[in-house]
Amino acid sequence: MPTRTARTAWNGTLQEGSGQVELSSSKVGTYEVSFPKRAAEEADGTTSPEELIAAAHSSCFAMALSNEIAKAGGTPQALEVSADVTLGQKDGGPHITKIKITVRGEVEGLDAAGFEQAAQAAKAGCPVSKALAGVDRISLDAALE
């Protein structure tokens, strides 16, 4: 299996500094990062580690769920997956405190219970979910459209 690479160039202190994160393997872009904007409600044109984790988790989960649906005898027509990654405080420092995955699907051949079972299996089996096992709470909201 391949190794994927991202690179960050950072200048300055945590509070006054900023950086650029480059998606090196795919070369699809370079994005601005800064700690003050990371901790603010509005991203204002910058990304953050939490947003990048959300992107990784939602895309990994979508792939895993598509596979689980097929294994259960269904056919995924469309899956809409979002991941909300929350940065909070724990033990006196910043910590990813929770992740909420929301999925809505159009699936042939599975009822709501079968879809929920496939979604739970995808949550457990997704490599990004496994990598994030240290997060206190990863919740799932799965429903057919």
- Can you spell out the DSSP letters for 44-99? TT-B-HHHHHHHHHHHHHHHHHHHHHHHTT-EEEEEEEEEEEEEEEETTEEEEEEE
pLDDT of residue 46: 94
This prediction has a pTM of: 0.91
pLDDT, tens digit only, all 145 positions of the chain:
899 999 999 999 999 999 999 999 999 999 999 999 988 888 889 999 999 999 999 999 999 999 999 999 999 999 999 999 999 888 898 889 999 999 999 999 999 999 999 999 999 999 999 999 888 888 999 999 8
